[in-house]
Amino acid sequence: MARVEVLCHVTYAYFAIREEIMNTAKRSARTACIYAVAVVLAPLAIPSGGAPAIASTSACDLGLVAPRGSLVGDYWRSRGGQNSVYGCPVNTETGFADRRGSRQQFQNGQIAWSPNMGEGNLLRIYAKNGKINLRWGTTSRDWDFFHVRWVIEADPKRQAQRRVKRETAWSGSYGFNPYPGVSHGGHLKEVFTFWFQGCDRGTFSSDCGAWSNVPVYIVWTS
């Protein structure tokens, strides 16, 4: 009889311990699950002010912003979007019926995709610090130097071409003030249109490629 009683106590203790272990495992699993859910949902938490944590600071017309995957739109966003030197877009990115490429107008300049110079090439123009600033790249091949050509829309005879040192073998920039030290009180407005081309130095002459097939332009006020 004593042996049976001892056996019963041992059996009871075994099952009690087993149940406690299982309950502890359940509590641990529940705690781990709660922690995992909290980690996942933390970014979506609503702050004390009641507004969602996901916020947009865009002051631009979102209907004019080029979608992701657009070279123009992605570059604009990478430079700060509305806070970039270009400002907000004022129209949609537009292509051309007669050639590959596209261009978009912004508050303070333009960005153009000019694929004949390279599938990833963007020609950009903006006004800053009293200058017209032109930048381009990345071209599909390396060049020794570049040419920049500009013309004034109202008077095509007023044009110029400049040789420009490369920044890298695939990119360059050019900036100038059309009327340094001269002010017309804001009454003079002229449209400057720009192209660029890449060139290699030769033994007797330079070997230059085609001009960019999508020019950019800017209205300069003096």
Question: What is the tens place of the pLDDT at every residue in 61-89?
Answer: 999 999 999 999 999 999 999 999 999 99
What pLDDT digit, counting tens, does each position of 84-119 carry?
Answer: 999 999 999 999 999 999 999 999 999 999 999 999
Q: What is the reported pLDDT for 181?
A: 65
Q: What is the reported pLDDT for 154?
A: 83
DSSP state of 28: H
Q: Which among 193, 197, 199, 163 has a CA at the least distance from the CA of 178?
A: 193
Residue 132's DSSP bridge partners are 127, 176
| Residue bearing tokens 């007797």 | 204
Q: What is the reported pLDDT for 207?
A: 94
Q: What is the reported pLDDT for 32?
A: 43
At residue 7, φ and ψ (nearest 5 deg) are -60, -40
Can you tell me the mean pLDDT for 17-39?
45
Burial class (CB within 10 angstroms; exposed 0-12, middle 13-18, buried 19+) of 169: middle
Q: What is the reported pLDDT for 20?
A: 54
Q: What is the reported pLDDT for 22?
A: 52
pTM above 0.75, yes or no: no
Angstrom CA distances, 121 to 68, 85, 173, 184, 212, stand at: 17, 19, 13, 35, 9
**Confidence check: pLDDT of 199 > 70:** yes
Can you tell me the mean pLDDT for 10-36?
47
What pLDDT digit, counting tens, does each position of 135-173 carry?
Answer: 999 999 999 999 999 999 888 888 999 999 999 999 999
Q: Which among 99, 200, 191, 100 has a CA at the least distance from the CA of 154?
A: 191
Q: What is the reported pLDDT for 184?
A: 66
